[in-house]
């Protein structure tokens, strides 16, 4: 993915002054960014042990598991550490202050876990997440452990796992369901909530994480037969409303577990950018989660759209998310830098070539975000 350091830094320098005011009304900053934990210290919260580092103005970057095959698999700890350091150095040089690091992408773990099997790219005898945390924190970066709550292994991968793993047992009981060759957990079961709570507790208890972050893998399909038996037994009459209530119960359980483990650790959600798509295809009640306190600390809609996108134009879609997000939840705009230089066939005729014709599109999106009520942005490269 092409980097755009010069434009990124120029915009950050131009807009950084807006990030300095803290909730208490005083300027408590490091490199122009407000530490949320500093605000909490001012309010008298306990700071024994590790103090999570989070920023009022978030500039984030996702580091997905797909890249681990390149710089984790077959690498010694020192080789892996060197690659991680280079990537995080580059992110910081472009103004990033928060990393979303994939640790539970597909029913597996890239950390030492008693719940899940190792991720397929992790073949060393070191703890990759411990290394990633050390390198990120050495640079003053906030680290949010990124989870996919419902997506699990492929059918082939599941067959190769020991029968002792909980999720493999669930493939027989119906809590896990096979969709297009991959297993997914069914959020209608409260057992799923319990497993996710254990996952969060395992991470917060054993690692100095600053946040827990989930993305947009909610229901894997809108087909009624995915959970027809469970829906029939529920007594509900509206499939969409029932599914959305299941996801909300799951999200609430995760948020509550984070706060139970450490109230200073943040919980963030990154749903798809299309509000209609959230409700109709993934059954994510984003109006509730962003509009009321108690479901997340911040929300990062994936606004991977150009300004000329015919169904979800960037400026108008950002404004919709602004109107939905309450003061107790920070809105962070997700930006799709991976689209730079490529045709976007889903954008309609007007927007199909925008990412080719407008190399400054991310810079212009950042400028618009910084003029909005949003509390920052995050980049997927």
Q: What is the mean pLDDT of residues 230-242?
A: 98
State residue 45's pLDDT score: 54
Could you tell me if residue 237 is inside a domain? no
pLDDT at 24 over 60: no
Could you tell me if residue 278 is inside a domain? yes
Could you tell me if residue 183 is inside a domain? no
State residue 304's pLDDT score: 98
Could you tell me if residue 191 is inside a domain? no
Distance CA 333, CA 338 (A): 15
Q: Which of 6-10, 141-145, 176-180 has the lowest mean pLDDT?
A: 6-10
- Higher model confidence: residue 314 or residue 36? 314
State residue 30's pLDDT score: 44
Contact 211, 268 (CB under 8 A): yes
pLDDT at 18 over 70: no
Could you tell me if residue 41 is inside a domain? yes
State residue 12's pLDDT score: 41
Could you tell me if residue 13 is inside a domain? yes
Q: What is the mean pLDDT of residues 214-221?
A: 96
Distance CA 144, CA 157 (A): 27
126-137 per-residue burial string, b: 16 or more CB within 10 A, e: under 16: ebbbebbbebbb
State residue 191's pLDDT score: 98
* Beta-ladder partners of 142: 98
State residue 48's pLDDT score: 64
pLDDT at 146 over 60: yes
Question: In the structure, what pLDDT confidence band is assigned to residue 49 with cuts at 50, 70 and 90?
Answer: confident
CA-closest candidate to residue 63, choices 153, 144, 124 = 144
Mean of pLDDT over the chain: 91
Q: Using a pLDDT cut of 70, give the percent of the chain over it.
A: 87
Going by their DSSP bridges, the two strands 333-336 and 376-380 should be labelled as parallel
Q: What is the mean pLDDT of residues 310-331?
A: 98
Residues 6+ apart with CB under 8 A from 333: 300, 301, 303, 318, 321, 365, 369, 372, 374, 376, 377, 378
- For the chain, the domain total comes to 1
Reported as a single tens digit per residue, the pLDDT across 238-276 is 999 999 999 999 999 999 999 999 999 999 999 999 999
State residue 8's pLDDT score: 43
Reported as a single tens digit per residue, the pLDDT across 339-380 is 999 999 999 999 999 999 999 999 999 999 999 999 999 999
pLDDT at 204 over 50: yes
pLDDT at 36 over 70: no
Could you tell me if residue 229 is inside a domain? no
Distance CA 217, CA 282 (A): 8
Reported as a single tens digit per residue, the pLDDT across 279-298 is 999 999 999 999 999 999 99
| pTM across the whole model | 0.90
Angle (CA) 298 57 247, round 5°:
10
Q: What is the extent of the structural domain holding 139?
A: 5-147+200-218+246-380
Question: In the structure, what pLDDT confidence band is assigned to residue 42 with cuts at 50, 70 and 90?
Answer: low
Question: In the structure, what pLDDT confidence band is assigned to residue 26 with cuts at 50, 70 and 90?
Answer: very low
Distance CA 192, CA 150 (A): 8
Question: CATH number of the domain that 103 lies in?
Answer: 3.20.20.70
Contact 136, 128 (CB under 8 A): no
Backbone angles phi, psi at 136, to 5 degrees: -70, -45
pLDDT at 25 over 60: no
State residue 39's pLDDT score: 59
Could you tell me if residue 135 is inside a domain? yes
């Amino acid at each position: 993915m092409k980097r755009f350091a010069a434009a990124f830094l120029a915009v950050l320098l131009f807009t950084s002054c807006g990030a300095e005011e803290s909730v208490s009304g005083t300027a408590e900053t490091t490199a122009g960014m407000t530490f949320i934990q500093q605000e909490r210290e001012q309010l008298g919260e306990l700071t024994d042990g590790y103090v999570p580092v989070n920023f009022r103005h978030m500039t984030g970057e996702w580091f997905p598991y797909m890249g681990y095959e390149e710089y984790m698999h077959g690498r010694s700890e020192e080789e892996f550490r060197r690659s991680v350091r280079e990537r995080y150095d580059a992110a910081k040089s472009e103004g990033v202050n928060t990393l979303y690091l994939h640790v539970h992408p597909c029913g597996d773990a890239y950390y030492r876990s008693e719940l899940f099997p190792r991720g397929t790219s992790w073949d060393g005898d070191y703890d990759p997440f411990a290394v990633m945390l050390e390198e990120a924190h050495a640079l003053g970066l906030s680290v949010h452990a990124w989870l996919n709550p419902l997506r699990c292994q492929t059918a082939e991968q599941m067959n190769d796992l020991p029968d002792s793993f909980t999720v493999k047992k669930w493939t027989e009981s119906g809590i896990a369901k096979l969709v297009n060759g991959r297993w997914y957990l069914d959020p209608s079961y409260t057992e799923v909530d319990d497993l996710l709570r254990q996952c969060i507790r395992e991470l917060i208890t054993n690692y100095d994480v600053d946040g827990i972050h989930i993305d947009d893998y909610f229901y894997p399909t809108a087909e009624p037969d995915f959970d027809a038996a469970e829906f029939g037994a529920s007594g509900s009459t509206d499939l969409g409303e029932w599914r959305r209530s299941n996801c909300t119960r799951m999200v609430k359980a995760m948020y509550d577990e984070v706060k139970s483990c450490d109230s200073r650790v943040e919980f963030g959600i990154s749903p798809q950018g299309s509000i209609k798509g959230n409700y109709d295809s993934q059954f994510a009640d984003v109006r509730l989660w962003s509009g009321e306190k108690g479901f997340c600390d911040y929300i990062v809609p994936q606004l991977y759209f150009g300004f000329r996108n015919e169904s979800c134009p960037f400026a108008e879609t950002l404004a919709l998310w602004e109107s939905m997000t309450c003061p107790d939840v920070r809105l962070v705009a997700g930006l799709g830098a991976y689209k730079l230089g490529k045709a976007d066939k889903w954008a309609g005729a007007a927007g199909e070539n925008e990412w080719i014709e407008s190399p400054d599109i991310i810079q212009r999106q950042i400028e618009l975000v910084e003029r909005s009520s949003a509390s920052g942005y995050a980049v997927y490269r």
